[in-house]
Structure 1
């Protein structure tokens, strides 16, 4: 197991023995500077998945995963300041991204409004992910999304999407 520690950030990458699952996690004391660290953790995790474990990860998936984590982390900074846990899990051709924070308010997408400036993060996440789930925890909430790591014939995500 590889363990990296930088200040308040704890990051781990670990293959789960015998399951074909690659997992990693990081803990952040969420401030705006931590958003770029979270994106970097995702980039490093998926780059290692490719180079060290031979997993297929499309350029689209790498970009989408970083975008999604950036949007989720931004919401934590804005609405649930404090600690945040980020878990990544590759199982087959899917990347699971789970983010826990201490805020109790569940996110909801706003109605489309071309005049609205900002607050489009959840709309973006819903548009690019193959699955989305949010659930309340005894403390805070947990948001989990799924992203296809592989591309279909038109460079779109491979596999079914519920949207």
Structure 2
């Protein structure tokens, strides 16, 4: 299945591209593409509305997207949907996959190699939620657009 091009984002009344969605097929380069889409989306939010998006928020958003998309592609068959939404002063990163099994974090273990993605996401997100869907599950991570004082 070929990747579906991202939409151009719907606009909120104040002109912010409120959201964008892309289907990822798991082929070579799609995780990098998801990170690039995230950076492009947040840059568009800055340019069109003058919204403040800190360098830290930009970096962490791309990290969270990378971790969530990687996990979805690793553990679920079929395509993955990535949605980015601006909600107030935060970006919501939503990843849907077809596997109904909810992820369970591993106990922290500094000797474990790999499988730290969910720990990382939960540590940097302001809010984190996992919901079972009629097909699969949806994971939502919310990150502030600006650095906290």
CA deviations on 1:49-93 (whole Å, 9 max, x unpaired) are 001221110000000000000000110121013211111111221
Distance 2:129 2:93 in 1: 10
- Preserved CA contact (<8 Å) 2:93 2:141: yes
Measure how far apart 1:18 and its partner are: 6.2
Instruction: Please give the root-mean-square deviation of Cα atoms over the aligned residues, in Å.
Output: 1.7
2:3 to 3, 8, 11: 8
Measure how far apart 1:140 and its partner are: 0.5
2:78 to 75, 79, 82: 82
Q: Is structure 2 residue 77 aligned with structure 1 residue 43?
A: no
CA deviations on 1:101-150 (whole Å, 9 max, x unpaired) are 11121111100111111000000000000000001111110000100001
Distance 2:107 2:82 in 1: 28
Structure 2: give runs of 5+ residues left out of the alignment: none
Q: Does the C-alpha gap of structure 1 residues 32 and 78 become closer, same or farther in structure 2, counting only changes over 3 Å?
A: farther
TM-score between the two structures when normalised by the length of structure 1: 0.84
- Preserved CA contact (<8 Å) 1:98 1:142: yes
Measure how far apart 1:9 and its partner are: 2.7
CA deviations on 1:5-54 (whole Å, 9 max, x unpaired) are xx523202221346967111111112352100100100000001001221
Structure with bigger strand share is 1
Q: Is structure 2 residue 99 aligned with structure 1 residue 103?
A: yes
1:59-74 matched pairs, under 5 angstroms: 59-74=55-70
Structure 1: give runs of 5+ residues left out of the alignment: 1-6, 154-163
Number of aligned pairs?
147
Which protein has greater RCO, CA pairs closer than 8 Å, 6+ apart?
Answer: 2
